[in-house]
Structure 1
Amino acid sequence: MPRLAANLTMLFNEVDFLDRFDAAAQAGFSGVEFLFPYDYPVAELRTRLQANGLTQVLFNLPPGNWSAGERGLAALPGRQAEFRDSVRQALEYAAALGCRTLHCMAGIPGPEVPFATAAAVYAANLAWAAEQAHGAGVKLAIEPINHRDMPGYHLHTLAQGAAIVTAIGPDRLGLQFDIYHCQVTEGDITRRIEAHLPIIAHMQLADVPDRHEPGTGEIGWDHLFRHIDALGYGGWIGCEYRPAKGTVAGLAWRRRYGV
């Protein structure tokens, strides 16, 4: 049975963010993830985790100016110093929260930046960041994100991500395999999980096409959950979906699929 983590950015939006830790624990989750912790004192987040016996599974490095449309710094030329500062900040939070995996967002370089230039900056930044994280006992992860939801995002295919992980070293860098993004961009989820399992550091789920909970779209979840179990995947799967009709009501899918 997979270990499911509630994504507190998307789930339990019926209550304020800090109250979502309580809500997740009451709903039966033992782990949580979210996009960014940086608007909250780390001591307060740690208190919420400990009070509910929750594991902080994952969060993202600072993304740059999110409200202006930035979605990560790692592949953006000229932002290397800011990127390094963001890595240091994320590792400070990870240490305080006991988080062992951090997602490094590639970013949207823009059409004026040649792909080769963005790729070179991305590789150099990732190599440096992965080394810093490894020294702190943290695994850095990269996630291909589909271009329908995030046009222009630098990392958008599993093959691209796997090549980078292999080049830097899977002991220092892992693949964040998002089932939703995979289905939108490439499909063939079963075989792609099999092929990439040795380098998968974290997984996430949502159904397609509307990014709601499992059972609301086209993915065959009965088969997929059984197959993930059969493969022996021992990591977490983050529930990064938008509930169709409320978080708690939507969690009936867990009973339906036996997870």
Structure 2
Amino acid sequence: MPRFAANLSTMYAEHDFPDRFAAAAADGFEAVEYLFPYDYDAAELRRRLDDHGLRQVLFNAPAGAWQAGDRGIAALPGREGQVRSGIDRALEYATALGCPRVHMMAGLVRSNATPAQLTGHRDTYLANLTWAAERAASAGVDILIEPINHRDMPGYFLTTQAEAHALLRDVGAANLKVQLDLYHCQIVEGDLTATLRRDIPTGRVGHLQVAGVPERHEPDHGELDIHHLFRVIDDLGFDGWIGCEYRPMAGTSEGLGWLDAYRGAHA
């Protein structure tokens, strides 16, 4: 049965970040994810998890100067030193928090990049992913890559599932996996049922995420038939987590009717 993790970067925004752990636990979540932990001491985050019986299942490696517009740096030539120091920092937090997955964002490329420049971005990404996967393997951590749609993040280097899986094949590391966000995938490619049936059995999908399309609100608002998709995921025996990376329309707890209905149907 699918297991759901609250994304504390997008959910429970009505609370200060440290208080979102308690709010998620009160709503029955057993796991959390979020963008970045680095503004907080790892010991404090660990205490929040332990106090509320939560598991940390995902966060991002440092992604450059986020406030200045960076959206990852792993595919950006010339920033390899930052990538490597960032991975080491992420693995320190992953160890402290017992988190088995770290998402490594690729970064933005210019819309007028030449084919040669795009090849350079890909080569840089491959080299950084290879290094990171080897480094993370000794810590028992999976490195994840996520295709992201250009409507929400114009210029993001990685947009399709095929591109992501090709990178996995080229790197060849067992602990490098795809973070399949159904929201992004629907916007870019659609055909979610076929995508799930094709990719989950490969064992190369390490994490799922969900949000309503097109507004990124609760997953039952919009064009996705989430109950069908959850049945497909269940039928495929996916044993990972589904991160709820959406922006609640009103209060977070008040918008969890979709999850209450799912839990009720599977009680």
Shift of 1:110: 2.5
1:130 maps to: 133
- Cα shift at 1:255: 2.1
- Aligned position for 1:193: 196
Supply the AA of the counterpart residue of 1:161. A
- Alignment partners' CA distance in 1, 2:57 and 2:66: 22
Residues 218-229 of structure 1: pairs in structure 2 closer than 5 A: 218-229=223-234
Tell me the residue number matched to 2:185: 182
Q: Name the structure 1 match of 2:29.
A: 29
Question: What does 1:59-208 align with in structure 2 at a 5 Å threshold?
Answer: 59-111=59-111, 113=113, 114-169=117-172, 171-197=174-200, 198=202, 199-208=204-213
1:6 aligns with 2:10: no
Taking the aligned partners of 2:41 and 2:260, their CA distance within structure 1 comes to 35
* 1:32-75 Cα deviation digits (max 9, x unpaired): 00000000011100100010110000000001000111000100
Count the aligned residue pairs.
259
* CA-CA distance at 1:172 after TM superposition: 2.1
Q: Secondary structure, in 3 states, of the residue corresponding to 1:257?
A: helix
Q: CA deviation at 1:257?
A: 3.1
**How much has 1:195 moved relative to structure 2?**
1.1
Unaligned runs of 5+ in 2: none
Q: Say if 1:128 and 1:170 are closer, same or farther in 2 by CA, change over 3 A.
A: closer
Return the TM-score normalized by structure 2: 0.95
Indicate yes or no: 2:258 matched with 1:253: yes
Q: 2:241 aligns with which of 224, 236, 240?
A: 236
Aligned to 1:55: 55
Q: Deviations over 1:108-147 (max 9, x none)?
A: 1334652111001000010000110011110001000000
Q: Answer yes or no: is the 8 Å Cα contact 2:4–2:244 preserved in 1.
A: yes
Are the equivalent residues in 2 in contact too, given 1:221–1:257 (CA < 8 A)?
no
Q: What amino acid maps onto 1:239 in structure 2?
A: C
Identical residues among aligned pairs (%): 54
Output the TM-score relative to the length of structure 1: 0.98
In structure 1, distance between residues paired with 2:246 and 2:76: 28
Extract unaligned runs of 5+ from structure 1: none
- Which amino acid in the other structure matches residue 84 of structure 2? R
CA distance in 2, matches of 1:179, 1:244: 19
